[in-house]
Structure 1
């Protein structure tokens, strides 16, 4: 899900990249990454299914006088290469042409899907026909400060870093929405559920997680065939209903597991599982470890 494709026009110009720190969870993949190019060249960068934000870290950029040689433009647009700003944004499915000079710098690369972040699932994220050259040099003070704070969290994770990061990404996503999607009406994105429908659906699933097990019942509420409902839901959220419900339950479980006073069997029932065994199996499938192991890991990272 959180993928980016990098293709250098001249393979001999491929730079060197290294990751210094990384924070990954449902909905995001964030890295502090170093990059070095020993010769000038042009590459294509494609943000596939995720939004891509890049913050050039101030100290690293200031130490490299040639960083200003780096320029870019969106593919298919009749415009010249322009100088890139400290904060750059690529919507999902975007192809971006990147010209680099001889340079070395450090940056934070943030891949995230706002539709997966819990508070934003009911908002329409239709990036079609929204490309704006301002995305290559974001000047929002809020975004600048938020991205710098996010980089600090990734470089030195603290207590409940995943939850803290999700909160910061929620604010960042809303700021991007206001800048580039705020003037759109719900009819701009066809083949999707409406904002009101998604909100109602989230309220029902939060109140009764078992509702997520019956596509037919949910489709009946809006008087549409189950197959059409499933298609519209996936087009809107980017996940099947089953995947969405599973990820929502696991996110809620992670939050509850941070409170050591709450028993694991209580977490299983509060997140809609029939018994602790089915909860443990689902949690391990999504997270790669048992609920108890996750709780112990959180204690080790955030004593």
Structure 2
């Protein structure tokens, strides 16, 4: 498929080429696999008429950054692998030269209602880097159905999209205030601290260390973390480490045992076992598949 995107209007310029590799169109949402080729440094204002949710399946080229209301005067923030842009907003962006593959979803309202949350400044900032494993996993499953359709793919994609939309709303509502601790959850600042600590190279922090940084007892920390993310800390940490490993394996440089240490595994064997359980492939098989 090399058709015009139905998610949003793509500019036709020599500097950017987009190929639509597959699509599932459902009432209220269109989901497409895009492959981009960017020639030279990129930048512009993105203002979609529909809300837009994007997962980069390969690293975004350069050092992508963006900001609502401009990116001058230090207002630019890093754009993560999951990006949400609400309808009618103006996102100023910059990124680099290279290629990228994404699953892109254009939708009305919040995907399951027509209002969606009122996005505060904090929530808008959080939308540039949606750190929700549940949203990320749902988008990956949709991408798989588009790339390799199977029995009842559209029905499965619709159910998975509903999950992604709900998890996105949960994330944005939780991100509405950095300092506020919601009933049955953690503040965005606390979740950011946990994520940053887990993603540091080397041995991961202990539960006691994370609980202490959040000012909670270990038992209370477990309950609050599950309420905020819908996951156990072990599952969340494993997902983050596997995500980081995938990014590193897409590069030709780092050897697998170094990646294992960088992602917090005690040995290459433990890393290989965890990676295979999560993806169905060994780290070497995953890397070889990306290189071809």
Structure-2-length-normalised TM-score? 0.51
CA distance in 1, matches of 2:35, 2:7: 18
- Give the superposition deviation at 1:110: 0.9
For residues 117-155 of structure 1, what are the alpha-carbon distances to aligned partners after superposition, in whole Å with 9 as ceiling and x for unaligned? 6xx34x742445465211111111111111111110111
**Contact 1:3/1:47 (<8 A) preserved:** no
Instruction: Identify the residue that residue 69 of structure 1 maps to in structure 2.
Output: 63
Unaligned runs of 5+ in 1: 185-303
Please state whether the residue corresponding to 2:80 is helix, strand or coil. coil
CA distance in 2, matches of 1:156, 1:6: 25
> 1:208-219 maps to which residues of 2 (within 5 A)?
none
> 1:1-303 maps to which residues of 2 (within 5 A)?
4-5=8-9, 14-48=15-49, 50-57=50-57, 60-61=58-59, 67-75=61-69, 79-114=74-109, 120-121=112-113, 124-127=115-118, 129=120, 131-181=123-173
Unaligned runs of 5+ in 2: 1-5, 177-292
**Contact 2:65/2:78 (<8 A) preserved:** yes
Please state whether the residue corresponding to 2:93 is helix, strand or coil. strand
- Give the superposition deviation at 1:113: 2.3
**Contact 1:20/1:31 (<8 A) preserved:** yes
CA distance in 2, matches of 1:183, 1:138: 10
- Give the superposition deviation at 1:4: 2.8
- Give the superposition deviation at 1:31: 0.9
**Contact 1:5/1:45 (<8 A) preserved:** no
For residues 163-205 of structure 1, what are the alpha-carbon distances to aligned partners after superposition, in whole Å with 9 as ceiling and x for unaligned? 2111111111111211223699xxxxxxxxxxxxxxxxxxxxx
Change (3 A) 1:156 1:132: same
**Contact 2:7/2:32 (<8 A) preserved:** no
CA distance in 1, matches of 2:70, 2:100: 28
- Give the superposition deviation at 1:7: 5.9
Change (3 A) 1:128 1:84: closer
Instruction: Identify the residue that residue 190 of structure 2 maps to in structure 1.
Output: none
CA distance in 1, matches of 2:86, 2:125: 12
**Contact 1:88/1:135 (<8 A) preserved:** yes
Q: RMSD value over aligned CA atoms? A: 2.8
Runs (4 or more) in structure 1 with deviation over 6 Å come to none
CA distance in 2, matches of 1:79, 1:4: 28
Please state whether the residue corresponding to 1:168 is helix, strand or coil. helix
Identify the structure with the greater helix proportion.
Answer: 1
Change (3 A) 1:35 1:183: closer
CA distance in 1, matches of 2:97, 2:168: 31
CA distance in 1, matches of 2:88, 2:44: 16
Change (3 A) 1:67 1:41: closer
CA distance in 2, matches of 1:3, 1:105: 17
Please state whether the residue corresponding to 1:85 is helix, strand or coil. coil
Instruction: Identify the residue that residue 246 of structure 2 maps to in structure 1.
Output: none
Please state whether the residue corresponding to 1:132 is helix, strand or coil. helix
Please state whether the residue corresponding to 2:61 is helix, strand or coil. helix
**Contact 2:7/2:104 (<8 A) preserved:** no
Larger Rg: 1
**Contact 2:83/2:130 (<8 A) preserved:** yes
Aligned residues: 169
